[in-house]
Amino acid sequence: MTGMLELKSIDAGYGSFQALFDVSLDVRAGEAVGVIGPNGAGKTTLMRVISGLIRPIRGTIAMEGTDVVATPPHRIVSLGIAHVPENRRLFPRLTVADNLKMGAYMPGARAHYVERLEFVFELFPRLKERLQQMAGTMSGGEQQMCAIGRALMSNPKLLLLDEPSAGLAPVVVQQVFELVKRIRASGLTVLIVEQNVQQVLRVVDRAYLLEAGSIRAAGSAAELAASDTIKQAYLGV
Ligand SMILES: Nc1ncnc2c1ncn2[C@@H]1O[C@H](COP(=O)(O)OP(=O)(O)OP(=O)(O)O)[C@@H](O)[C@H]1O
Ligand SMILES: [Mg+2]
């Protein structure tokens, strides 16, 4: 496996508030990597820094060797990074079809529009049935499919998922983790933030524990699942 995404010594925050301290992390091509940690740990901030929504104060980010920090935010999608933000952020009054179209706005993606759409329908047949429905009227799980589908329309190499299971009923949570497995099996590289520690450790290869803006632990999913710190604080055993 070769390095796809590489963060080195990232400090980031909002105004004078620092949310990330010296965060280093890497994701190799074909891997699924998890980021776990309590509320306010900086997980969403980490995803925002990677997708260019906020700029780090210090440190470097490389995507397949390209300097992400020096890349204008609107060009970062073209590097192959697609971000499914926390709370989905669909356009609720647009149809499912139009939401998907919004994911393929860059010239490079437009050329592959039809084949990307086929790929999304293969993963999420439900979306094909509901193309003309307003996204805001879809169920929570369907909206998550739509949000992931929209991100996949840009033909990404790396998919950033920020708490895809949040707010969903347990059965639907299961389905979301099944989707993550399928996305991963399709060859995509995945970086996923989850509160649902037990379940996410079943679908990722490796994970990082982020606490108060710093990486406190890192290792294979099996190592983290077996660690006493994580068992006590996050697995309730
Ligand atoms: N737009 C913002 N302006 C100011 N502070 C912010 C902003 N967004 C987040 N923060 C602060 O940065 C810190 C990290 O927040 P972040 O959203 O990254 O945490 P998180 O790990 O994703 O938490 P959660 O699990 O609740 O989603 C928190 O203290 C939060 O209050
Ligand atoms: Mg968050």
Domain CATH for 47: 3.40.50.300
The answer as to whether 135 is a domain residue is: no
Task: Report how far ligand 2's centroid is from the alpha carbon of 51 (Å).
Answer: 14
Handedness of CA 206, 124, 144, 107 (dihedral sign): positive
- What range does the domain containing 219 cover? 1-79+191-237
The answer as to whether 133 is a domain residue is: no
Q: Tell me the angle at which helices 113-123 and 170-185 cross, rounded to the nearest 10 degrees.
A: 130
For position 237, what pLDDT does the model report?
Answer: 66
What band does 2 get if pLDDT is binned at 50, 70 and 90?
Answer: low
Q: What is the mean pLDDT of residues 190-195?
A: 95
The predicted-structure confidence for 86-127, as pLDDT tens digits, reads as follows 987 899 999 999 999 999 887 777 778 899 999 999 989 999
| C-alpha distances out from residue 157 to 33, 56, 171, Å | 14, 22, 28
The answer as to whether 59 is a domain residue is: yes
**The most confident of 20-24, 82-86, 87-91, by mean pLDDT:** 20-24
Report which DSSP code applies to 135.
G
The answer as to whether 84 is a domain residue is: no
The answer as to whether 30 is a domain residue is: yes
Average pLDDT score over the chain: 92
Instruction: Write down the pTM of the prediction.
Output: 0.94
For position 141, what pLDDT does the model report?
Answer: 87
CA distance 29 to 211: 26
In DSSP notation, 27-86 reads EETT-EEEEE--TTSSHHHHHHHHTTSS--SEEEEEETTEESTTS-HHHHGGGTEEEE-T
Q: Which ligand is nearest to the CA of 54?
A: 1
The answer as to whether 180 is a domain residue is: no
Name which of 124, 235, 225 is nearest 178 in CA terms. Answer: 124
The answer as to whether 20 is a domain residue is: yes
Q: Which ligand is nearest to the CA of 53?
A: 1
Task: Report how far ligand 2's centroid is from the alpha carbon of 193 (Å).
Answer: 8
Helix/strand/coil for 222: helix
- Report the run of H or E that residue 9 belongs to, with start and end: strand 3-14
Does the pLDDT at position 206 exceed 60? yes
Give the number of domains in the chain: 1
Counting from 1 in the atom list of ligand 1, the atom nearest the Cα of 37 is 21
Residues with CB under 6 A from ligand 1: 14, 17, 19, 37, 39-45, 86
The answer as to whether 32 is a domain residue is: yes
Task: Report how far ligand 2's centroid is from the alpha carbon of 45 (Å).
Answer: 7
Instruction: Select from 20, 36, 45, 216 the residue to mutate for testing ligand 1; criterion: most ligand atoms less than 8 Å from CB.
Output: 45
Phi and psi at 183, nearest 5°, equal: -60, -45
